Amino acid sequence: MTDSGFADIRNARIAWYSDGDGTGDPLVLVHAGVADARMWEPIVPALAAARRVVRFDMRGFGRSRSARGAYTDAGDLRALLDALAIERAHLIGASFGGLVSLELAATQPSRVASLVLLAAALPDIEPSPALLAFAEAEEAAVTVGQVEQAVEVNVKMWAGDSTPEVRTLVADMQRIAFELQLREGAESDELDPPVSDRLGAIGVRATVAYGDRDVEDFEQIARRLHAELPDATLHEVTGAGHLLALDRPAEVTQLILRHLEGAATA
């Protein structure tokens, strides 16, 4: 049975969900920037059979609500761990959520037991033509208030080859995110220096994965993370696009469980 609630964090109410009560450091799932906590639903039951699993909606997503003002997503994550009395957690981060997980590992290393990074983002990459074209199309639609057009651009980019059910879910998650972010106006501060300059100092075990159908930028990022993180393994998930946990939930679940076994052995 899922427990849920809200944590009041610096001008925001962060929605959280908790499943399972297994022993050991819990798993905290950090969603992608095109999603919310619902993206993890296909993999939660199997993970919760062995561990406590916490997922949440970042500020500007899902059921969370915020006011205007500056914040950092890694700071919100740290504050959520405090609110839930979690001393240390294994972080499972997808895309932007992978970046947030890396930032917490870099700035609060005692709070992070290990990392699973699924098509993680980094802040200083040279974007491919495909990624540039996407960003320009999204910005053009948002600038003139065409939210539905911006949603379509995102679904095509991040879930274009996914199942109809996944595309419908991504559209709903992204639509809510656009509406919240345009209305609430909270401003995320960037980490300085960026986490990409700190990768060599992140000593926890990391599993890095990317989908073979994703845009090329994320394979390049994954290979960089594998090369620069001190204790990382690299995995390609066949048949997956950008949202690995939605496209290949069984494979991602096994990847996470094997990672936890390795972390326990280490």
What integer pLDDT is reported at residue 265 of this predicted model? 73
Residue numbers of the domain that contains 52:
3-126+186-265
56 near 16, Cβ under 8 Å?
yes
* In a domain? residue 32: yes
- Count Cβ atoms within 10 A of the Cβ of residue 164 and give its class: 0-12 exposed, 13-18 middle, 19 or more buried: exposed
* In a domain? residue 179: no
Tokens 């999204």 locate to 138
Mean pLDDT of 72-101: 98
What pairs with residue 7 in β-bridges? Answer: 14
Is the CA virtual torsion 208, 210, 216, 218 positive or negative? negative
What integer pLDDT is reported at residue 266 of this predicted model? 65
Coil vs helix vs strand at 62:
coil
Q: What is the total count of domains within the chain?
A: 1
Coil vs helix vs strand at 4:
strand
Statement: residue 69 has pLDDT above 70: yes
* In a domain? residue 144: no
pTM for the predicted model, two decimal places: 0.97
* In a domain? residue 34: yes
Q: Could you tell me the CATH number of the domain that includes residue 47?
A: 3.40.50.1820
Span 200-244, pLDDT tens digits: 999 999 999 999 999 999 999 999 999 999 999 999 999 999 999
